[in-house]
């Protein structure tokens, strides 16, 4: 029998691991350059600066991190969903959906009125999760992200 997946707050060492895995696995999947890992490091480097207004959720099984998501404040009323990540071997288990649900629950409980996120048009599995959770596409634009031409998107959820 496979051990259960738990979702817990980040522990010491997790942020560095998530930066490494997100920066290497996701960049390799999409052909992105090292600027992607730098972006993730900058985002998570700000985590911990807003006690009570931010949260991180780490999916783990038997000590192995399988994914993560973070909620960080944009303004007093708006939070941003950050760095959704699920290891390739753990995809299809519903972890992305569970992590997004945890993030939305935190944002609602914290009194935010809106939750936003940034993604790309080709990230279809993530976009499907966001849409099912009630997020709606707010803006999109053709641009270059991390050395690759993409359609960048901002999604929003009214809480």
pLDDT of 32-64, one tens digit each?
Answer: 888 889 999 999 999 999 999 999 999 999 999
pLDDT of 120-130, one tens digit each?
Answer: 888 888 999 99
Percent of the chain with pLDDT over 90: 72
Pairing of the two strands 6-8 and 78-86: unpaired
Cα 52 to its chain centre, rounded Å, is 18
Given a cut of 90, whether residue 17 has pLDDT beyond it is yes
Asked whether the CA dihedral 59, 34, 125, 101 is positive or negative, the reply is positive
The confidence band for 1, taking pLDDT boundaries of 50, 70 and 90, is low
- Alpha-carbon distance of 149 to 136, in angstroms, equals 23
Q: Which fold has domain 6-112?
A: Aminopeptidase (3.40.630)
The confidence band for 8, taking pLDDT boundaries of 50, 70 and 90, is very high
Buried b (16+ CB within 10 A) or exposed e, 60-72: beeeebbbbbbbb
Can you give the pLDDT at residue 78? 98
At residue 70, what are phi and psi to the nearest 5 degrees?
A: -135, 150
Cα 21 to its chain centre, rounded Å, is 13
Cα 70 to its chain centre, rounded Å, is 6
Full-model pTM: 0.93
pLDDT of 58-115, one tens digit each?
Answer: 999 999 999 999 999 999 999 999 999 899 888 888 999 999 999 999 999 999 999 9
pLDDT of 136-147, one tens digit each?
Answer: 999 999 988 888
């Amino acid at each position: 029998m496979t051990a259960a997946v738990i979702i817990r707050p980040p522990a010491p060492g997790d942020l560095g691991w998530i930066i490494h895995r997100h920066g290497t696995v996701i960049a390799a999947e999409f052909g992105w350059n090292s600027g992607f890992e730098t972006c993730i490091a900058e985002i998570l480097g700000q985590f911990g600066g807003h006690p009570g207004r931010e949260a991180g959720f780490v999916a783990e099984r038997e000590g192995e991190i399988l994914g993560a998501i973070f909620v960080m404040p944009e303004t007093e009323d708006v939070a941003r969903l950050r760095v959704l990540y699920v290891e390739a071997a753990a995809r299809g288990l519903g972890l992305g959906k569970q992590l997004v649900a945890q993030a939305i629950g935190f944002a609602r409980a914290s009194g935010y009125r809106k939750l936003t996120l940034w993604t790309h048009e080709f990230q279809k599995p993530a976009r499907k999760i966001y849409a099912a959770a009630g997020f709606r596409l707010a803006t999109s634009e053709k641009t270059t992200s991390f050395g690759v031409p993409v359609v960048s998107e901002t999604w929003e959820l009214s809480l």
